Structure 1
Amino acid sequence: MTTHTVGAAPRSSARKLARFAGHYVEMVVAMLVGMMALAPLWPDAWTTLSDVDVLVMATDMTIGMTAVMLLRRHSWARIAEMAVVMYLPFVVLLVPFWLGAVSGMTLMVVGHVVMFPLMLAAMVWRRDHYWH
């Protein structure tokens, strides 16, 4: 007698989209938790400097996001890609900040505003890792 293993029915596109969106939201929540949980660990002297503050904040968010991605068994390569897109807007904006072309507030706000679509772009680019 032959037994056949029946796999799970393929997920619909709507279900895949919901899981994709849920994963994105899960990473954003993990970033916020990381930022709030780790912020008190940094010396106040560091966080009063806008350029250091944005890098500290990006680090806190990256640690939270990394924890979630590790729990979801993403590879270190995917985690590193996501970390790069999280730091990238801040690093790029540091040059105009140091030249006095943008304020500390602009550095903080624009860095965050750009980070989120970059994260989404990374997920779409590697959708085989996030779209299931």
Structure 2
Amino acid sequence: MTEQQWNTVPSRPAPEAATPPARRRVLNRRFALHYAEMVASMFAGMLVFGGLWSSGLTLFGRPEVLARDDVGSLVMATAMSAGMAVWMRYRRHGWGPVAEMCAAMYASFAILFPPLWAGLMDGGTVMMLGHVLMFPAMLAVMLRRPEEYSHRH
């Protein structure tokens, strides 16, 4: 292969231009449905796995572990990530997209820890804002690879 061939990028039509409008609507609908499924699985994980964490720590006589706001937030992110990971694997997503989505859950809380530790924010605010930030964080991950989340599973 010559240097010119190596440096030349083949021209492709933009995905939007190559996709007929009816097909684009179907893909957008699937993308939106997938987002809704991710939100539902996140809440299911919060209920199921969050309850297991709470029950397990109480059973072992350590319920105070969740009293720390940063730890409680990470436990919440873990519970929601577990629910989403189970659903994503059921829908046959690879481990890479699953890891990206889980990282978005943790990042939504982690960026709030410095203000928490500095005393500029209380634990309730961290928990509330972390949950709010999860929605755009999930959407950002999905928009990074729209084809991953708009095809039929």
Q: Same fold (TM over 0.5)?
A: yes
Mean CA deviation greater in 31-40 or 44-53: 44-53
Query: Do the aligned residues in 1 keep the contact of 2:105 with 2:138 (CA within 8 Å)?
Result: yes
Q: What corresponds to 1:49 in structure 2? A: 68
Q: What corresponds to 2:134 in structure 1? A: 115
Q: TM-score, normalised to structure 2's length?
A: 0.76
Q: Structure 1 stretches of 5 or more lacking a match?
A: 1-9
Once the 2 structures are TM-superposed, how far is the Cα of residue 47 of structure 1 from its aligned partner? 2.3
Q: Structure 2 stretches of 5 or more lacking a match?
A: 1-19, 58-62
2:29 aligned with 1:18: yes
How far apart are the structure 1 equivalents of 2:124 and 2:134?
15
CA RMSD in angstroms comes to 1.4
Work out the percentage of aligned pairs sharing the same amino acid. 45
4+ long deviations beyond 6 Å: none
Q: Which of 45, 49, 55 is equivalent to 1:38?
A: 49
Query: Do the aligned residues in 1 keep the contact of 2:112 with 2:130 (CA within 8 Å)?
Result: yes
What count of residue pairs does the alignment treat as equivalent? 123
Q: What corresponds to 2:118 in structure 1? A: 99
Whichever of the two has the greater Rg, that structure is 2
Q: TM-score, normalised to structure 1's length?
A: 0.87
The residue matched to 2:112 in structure 1 has which SS?
helix
